[in-house]
Amino acid sequence: MRILFCGDIVGRSGRDIVIERIPQICQDLEIDFVIVNAENAAHGFGLTKGICQDLYNIGVDVITTGNHIWDQKEIIGYIDQDKRLLRPLNYPATSPGRGFTIVPNRKGKDVLVINAMARLFMDTLDDPFPAVDAILKKYPLGSGSLGAIVLDFHGEATSEKMAMGHFCDGRVSLVVGSHTHVPTADTQILPGGTAYQTDAGMCGDYNSVVGMEKTVPILKFTRKMPTARMQPAQGPGTLCGVFVETDDATGLAKSIHPVCLGARLKNIMPEIVNLEG
């Protein structure tokens, strides 16, 4: 199975590059399943029903989020209706929405997608480790029609993300981090066969401070005084993510490659003829 995960969409620049590039990536790499984190898609804060529909229309199968899930209030009344839109699994049980979902890929094989949030330097939530563990025990990789499991672990601390990767090693196809908006260079397959990258990066304008126009964040750091509300940078976007190919027999990873296409960062696109390398 071939899976594409794209990091946090930030504002219009992020939406535009994702809508422009994902259909061609899916065609070029023969993608079976697409996951996108869209928690910053609506002007940098949250997302809307309309944005969800725009993403589904270009072939996105599941949308993950994080700590900005509730920033656009309309999503509170919508999320229960959309089984392909996730909020972090370890939010309180009384929160609307769901933290995992099972969706068939383009060939009819089921994919379990889990969205969890880390706790170091983040909001205080339930412990993500037992929450994820409970789902993996209920839906073991390879059982029934379950062909792949992907975990989007939304968090700040690289150590916590790495710990989650090893905690899940051998039990999921891919553990990938989101939230920091900077792609990390630790793309690898862990010893037990799980593909891993600490952060996929963002889809947005990299001539920015993590996707935001530079002036206000710089003032916030240099003056330590209240500032205006941050606004997403509006320059040309870059799409960042990871591409994973799994073993149909086990659901574990055969290969993982970074994907980076757009205006500012070095462009990286896997060649389909080299996927076994």
Catalytic residues: 68
Q: What are phi and psi of 196, to 5 degrees?
A: -150, 140
Q: Which 3-state string (H, E, C) describes 118-187?
A: CCCCCCCCCCHHHHHHHHHHHCCCCCCCEEEEEEEEECCCHHHHHHHHHHHCCCCCEEEEECCCCCCCCC
Cα–Cα dist 235/5, whole Å: 23
Class of residue 144 by CB neighbours under 10 A (exposed 0-12, middle 13-18, buried 19+):
exposed
Contacts 24+ apart (CB under 8 A), 132-138: 132/89, 132/164, 132/167, 132/168, 133/167, 135/89, 135/100, 136/168, 136/171, 136/172
CA distance 2 to 243: 7
